[in-house]
A and B are shown apart, each in its own frame.
Chain A
Amino acid sequence: FIRFVVLINYPLYIRSVPTQGELKFHYTVHTSLDVVEEKISGVGKALADQRELYLGLLYPTEDYKVYGYVTNSKVKFVIVVDSSNTSLRDNEIRSMFRKLHNSFTDVMCNPFYNPGDPIQSKAFDSIVSTMMVQAC
């Protein structure tokens, strides 16, 4: 399975394949937020310019892997994938995040979208669907 979450400290968009067991994923995602925060707090290192947008594998649990990505505007993308799904490589995850980011930017460009609203864009949904299908 795979699960996409877009959030700014609260979820803006959640999409999973399959749709069961969401509660567990919610928990996972929220805990992963902590890791994200830790990573982006910089720890005094080089600040914004050097900070990698792609946060990589946040932490592997026994069941699944969580990947994180944060934009410059502190919008966080989290992908949770099944650990058994070994076909997803790191660069694939990166590309997924890039696509997510691009479509998220498109959503942002829409003047009717207020930042902070849940994302209801069909275009965004379709892109996520593509990725989900590809990942499965």
Chain B
Amino acid sequence: MDQGSAAGSGGTFISLSDTEQRCYSGLYALCQPDSSGKPAAGKVAELFRASQLPAETLHQVTEACGAKRLGYFGCGQFYVALKLMAAAQAGLPVRLESIAGELPLPVFVGITNELEMHYPNQPLTNESQSHILGSVAGSAPRPPADRPVLRHPDTSMDKQEAWSPPQSPGISPPRSPSAYRSYPYGAQRNGTDTLLAYDAKVPGRPSIPQENSSPSYYSVKLQPEQPVITRVASVERLVERVEVDYSDDPWRITEEQREYYTNQFRSLQPDLSALIMGTVAKNFFTKSKLPIPELSHIWELSDVDKDGALTFTEFCTAFHLIVARKNGYPLPETLPATLRPGFVEAGVVTAPPSEATLPLIVFDENMMPGANQLKILFGSVDLQVTSRPGVTAKQEARDESRKPEFSPKRIPEPHEKPIQHVSTLKPDSPQELDANMKSRTRPRSYSSTSIDDAMKKVEEPPTPPPRPQKTHSRASSLDLNKLFQQSGQGSRPSQHSLSAKSGWLPPPPALPPRPPATQIFSFLPGSEKSSQKAVQQPNFADFSKFREEQESSVRGLSTEDLTPPKSESTVVHQGHAPQKPVRRKLHPESQSATPPSATPYSAATLTKSSQRPPPKQKREIQMAIRKNRETNAVLTRLNSELQQQLKVVHRERVTLESQLELLRPVAST
């Protein structure tokens, strides 16, 4: 907003920004050889003429600022006049109201302007420079609608500063051509700009930017010999002020940066032609730890289509701005031309610099453009991507070639260079390069998806391990199974597996319906032809007991039952202590039951078998085997279910036990 002091003597309250103040004071110093404080009329007139405004405008300005009244340009009038001229140059009506707001600095052809430069200082041509200076200083909000003029200076400034750092040696020739050079870049050059540029070239009066309004510079004025001196001065200045810069414009994205941005984009959004949503981008850019207003400004600059989402180019732009800001470059007011999305496309048409090709390649890959273009782009990019030193060398070479050749030839130059690249590449089997690039880029595009797939696949396996088999390792079941399979009915493997998994928790199948067990019980006693059956019977008996116990334990756990048996169960492989009580009852019974029962049963079976004739025996045995097998299966399943029940019961028991423990001391005391 408006800041700074008001210009006093004119009686009008015009607020000046700091930059404007500085500029005007510089200009004032320029025009003021008079010790009395009045600027020399001649100088002032020259200055006014230098602003390139039509005569009547100048008259208006003079009138409006009140100099006519006073007869001379006092400081206040001078400032007002300058502001009015700025307004006039901006296209605003020459009225005092126009200058109440903030305006860019007035542009004076051939007059040295001192300004605060955001970017590295520029020794360059008067015209473009003054444009630049004017536009930079006008960093206060400029009415954008009618400001193509200003926009161009801005971009030209950016470009120029781009080339200015590397320019140190070869400044002299490019002075005016540099202005011209920058113009072809912008597609929106006004006629006025070019006119002014030509004006600049013609008189060959460079303007020197200054940080301090040292009169010495000012004294070197609009003479043709000025260029030499100014060049020298500007070179010095440039040398002083050149920041550490690559051969590239800080606002131009190198291909390394582009690659990095591409990867970052992919991390947010695998599809390069898609958009990153605003919130996603916000979270991402917030990580850069820039203050929110700056991020907001960056967003405004980069979201060109104002859709609340970032396309790939917009994303690159935003990222680049963030990078620049983090490196200390202040944010521009408008998007530098090199970062505009239009730039890239224009680059395509006009044989772009290499960096611009990379995103095109990526896009092209996705969108499958014409093969020729693809090849060319691939080729040039590949050339640069492959050899870094080669790249920088090329860039430098290009830049250096650009430096001295700031002639109109520069336009064809970018054409030539990439074309040269292409031509050199084409003999080098561009298809190979295609393949290289494709292989390089495609994996990039696919890698994310493949990684995603791989990740998905990885995720799938960690599903809970498949349910263990029905066989399990409960000690009781082991024993029982052992008893079952002592005769080796073919479930040896299961036995082994069971023994192997002795300490292994059984899978908890659904609770078995009780009836089957009873059925089994009822069934089994009916088939007692073999020793196994005999063995089974006690098991069934045990089972029934077991079941009863289980039920009883489920209903009402009695700790007495639980505590004693812990000592026992050596035979049983147990994972759970609580199973011991059940086992205890089971096992003693089984152990006690089976031996005594086994013997009578075996005796019985033996006697029975001895009684039966052989063929019947065979058939019976076979039937018995079959039945036993079925029974086995059923019992196994039952066992597992019972184990599950046992677990549940055990849990309950534990809880009750703990409660009891809590109550016990209370009861005892």
- A contacts, CB < 8 Å to B: 17-19, 105-106, 109-113, 120-123, 125-127, 129-130, 132-133, 136
CB distance from B106 to the nearest CB of A (A): 16
Partner of A123, one of B102, B144, B281: B144
- Describe A's contact surface by its main secondary structure: helix
Chain B residues contacting A136 (CB-CB under 8 Å) are: 95, 97-98, 100
Given the known interface contacts A112-B292, A133-B92, the answer about A122 and B303 at a Cβ–Cβ threshold of 8 Å is no
Bound-complex Cα distance A132 to B299 (A): 25
Residue of B nearest to A123 (CB): B300
B101 at the interface (CB under 8 A from A): yes
- Extra inter-chain contacts (8) besides given A17-B97, A109-B308, A127-B144, CB under 8 Å: A111-B299, A112-B282, A112-B295, A122-B141, A122-B297, A126-B143, A130-B144, A133-B101
5 contacts between A and B (CB under 8 A): A106-B306, A122-B297, A122-B333, A127-B143, A129-B143
Q: When each residue 65-102 of chain B gets 1 if its CB lies under 8 Å from chain A and 0 otherwise, what string results?
A: 00000000000000000000000000010010110111
Nearest-CB residue, chain B, relative to A132: B101
> Contact at B98–A110, with CB atoms within 8 Å?
no
> Which of the listed residues B92, B100, B141, B292 has the most CB atoms from chain A within 10 Å of its own CB?
B141
**Cβ-defined partner of A112 (8 Å) among B101, B141, B296, B333:** B296
Task: Give the residues in chain A near B307, CB-CB below 8 Å.
Answer: 109
Residues in B neighbouring A130, C-beta threshold 8 A: 143-146
On whether the beta carbons of B278 and A17 are closer than 8 Å, the reply is no
Pick from B95, B278, B293: contact of A111, CB under 8 Å? B278
Tell me how many residues of B have a C-beta within 8 Å of chain A. Answer: 31
* Closest partner residue, chain B, to A136 (CB atom): B97
Nearest-Cβ distance from residue A14 to partner chain B, whole angstroms? 11
Are B296 and A110 neighbours in the complex by a CB distance under 8 Å? yes
Q: Which residues of A contact B100 (CB under 8 A)?
A: 17-18, 136
In the bound assembly, the distance between CA atoms of A122 and B303 in angstroms comes to: 14
The reply to whether B296 and A113 contact each other, CB–CB distance below 8 Å, is: yes
Instruction: Kindly report which residue of chain B lies nearest to residue A125, judged by CB atoms.
Output: B141
Task: Point out the residues of chain B lying under 8 angstroms from A120, CB to CB.
Answer: 293, 296
Chain A residues lying within 8 Å of B145, measured Cβ to Cβ, are 127, 130
Residue numbers of B with Cβ under 8 A of A are: 2, 92, 95, 97-98, 100-102, 141-146, 278-279, 281-282, 285, 292-293, 295-297, 299-300, 303, 306-308, 333
Q: What is the distance, in angstroms, from A18's C-beta to the closest C-beta of chain B?
A: 6
What residues on A are CB-neighbors of B278 within 8 Å?
109-111
Instruction: Using known A-B contacts A111-B282, A130-B145, A133-B92, determine if residue A121 contacts B300 with beta carbons closer than 8 Å.
Output: yes
Please, how many angstroms separate the alpha-carbon atoms of A125 and B98 in the complex? 16
Inter-chain contacts of A109 with B (CB < 8 A): 278, 303, 306-308
Chain B residue with Cβ nearest A121 = B300
Contacts of A121 in B (CB 8 A): 296-297, 300
With contacts A120-B293, A126-B141, A136-B98 known, is A106 near B300, CB below 8 A? yes
Residues of chain A within 8 A of B333, CB atoms compared? 122
Task: Tell me which of A105, A106, A133 contacts B143 (CB under 8 A).
Answer: A133
CA distance A105 to B306 in the complex (A): 9
A110 with B299: CB separation less than 8 A:
yes
| A7→B95 CA distance, assembly (Å) | 31
A133: which B residues are within 8 A, CB to CB? Answer: 92, 98, 101, 143
Name the contact of A126 in the complex, choosing from B144, B281, B292 (C-beta under 8 A): B144
CB distance from A129 to the nearest CB of B (A): 5
Known: A17-B97, A136-B98. A129 touches B142 (CB 8 A): yes
Closest chain A residue, CB of each to CB of B96? A136
Closest to B145 in A: A130
Which residues from chain A contact B102 at a C-beta distance below 8 Å? 129
B97 contacts across to A, CB distance below 8 A: 17, 136
**Across-interface contacts of B98 in A (CB, < 8 A):** 133, 136
A residues near B146, Cβ cutoff 8 Å? 130
Contacts of A123 in B (CB 8 A): 144, 300
Bound CA span A130–B150, Å: 14
B281 interface neighbour in A17, A19, A105, A111, Cβ under 8 Å? A111
- A106 vs B278: C-alpha distance in the bound complex, in angstroms? 12
Chain B residue, CB-CB nearest to A109: B308
Q: Chain B residue with minimal CB distance to A102? A: B306
> How far is B92's CA from A133's CA once the two chains are assembled, in angstroms?
8
